């Protein structure tokens, strides 16, 4: 697994799971808080193409922006954002919040976040599919469209709060083709390529 910093101008599949397969999301409000904190820490440095949040793991498909110094969120000065550091700050903040809220101690995540460089178009397309089908693959729902905590519906509805929704639908040739591309069933055996 790669351990070096994320490099600007590249796409990455970011993923992790709870330590000992523990749930990262203990109740519904945790999913919302995770996304809120992700936006706070990461939108200056990452463009988000897809995500899936499941009880004990998550997936993100991101593009690392080429950034200049930006104003701090607290309004006190500027800083040069680094994607790897911002993700680490985000994960640490989320873990500390969960530890406080549920009176637990120790690490929440299995390891430092895992990342795979996406270096071809078909892999990029596959990760988008994989994020959206993930809840169905793991048996949380019988139809991936029923899962609330993936980017599928936000992309279809062109919700641009932090997603690059129009870029994703353009990648497929428009919203109708994006939806049509998701009609085919995703095979469970294909999931192995995302963790090896």
Domain ranges of the chain: 11-194
Greater confidence, 71 or 173? Answer: 173
Among 26-35, 36-45, 92-101, 159-168, name the one with the lowest average pLDDT.
159-168
Q: Which of 61, 83, 39 is nearest to 171 (CA)?
A: 61
Give yes or no for residue 31 having a pLDDT over 90. Answer: yes
Q: How far apart are CA 53 and CA 17, in angstroms?
A: 10
| Strand segments (E) across 18-170 | 46-54, 57-64, 70-71, 78-79, 114-118
Distances (CA, A) of 99 to 103, 104, 108: 6, 5, 8
Q: Which helix (H) or strand (E) holds 13?
A: strand 11-17
pLDDT of 4: 66
Taking domain 11-194, whether its CATH number is 3.30.70.1290 is answered by yes
Both tokens of 100, joined, read 């406080």
Q: What is the pLDDT of residues 151-183, one digit of tens each?
A: 999 999 988 789 999 999 999 999 999 998 888
Rounded to two decimals, the pTM is 0.86
Average pLDDT over residues 13-18: 96
Sign of CA dihedral 49, 87, 66, 4: negative
How far apart CA 63 and CA 70 sit, in angstroms, is 18
């Amino acid at each position: 697994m790669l351990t070096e910093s994320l490099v600007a101008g590249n796409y990455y599949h970011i993923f992790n799971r709870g330590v000992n397969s523990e749930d990262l999301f203990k109740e519904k409000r945790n999913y919302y808080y995770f996304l809120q904190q992700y936006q706070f820490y990461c939108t200056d440095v990452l463009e988000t193409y897809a995500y899936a949040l499941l009880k004990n793991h998550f997936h993100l498909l991101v593009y690392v922006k080429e950034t200049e110094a930006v104003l701090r969120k607290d309004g006190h000065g500027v800083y040069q954002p680094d994607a790897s550091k911002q993700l680490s700050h985000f994960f640490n903040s989320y873990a500390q919040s969960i530890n406080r809220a549920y009176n637990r101690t120790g690490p929440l995540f299995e390891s430092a976040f895992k990342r795979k460089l996406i270096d071809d178009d078909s892999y990029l397309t596959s990760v988008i599919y994989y994020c959206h089908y993930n809840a169905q693959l793991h048996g949380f729902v019988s139809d991936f469209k029923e899962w609330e905590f993936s980017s599928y519906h936000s992309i279809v509805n062109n919700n641009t709060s932090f997603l690059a929704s129009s870029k994703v639908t353009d990648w497929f040739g428009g919203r109708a083709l994006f939806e049509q591309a998701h009609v085919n069933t995703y095979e469970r055996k294909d999931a192995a390529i995302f963790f090896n």
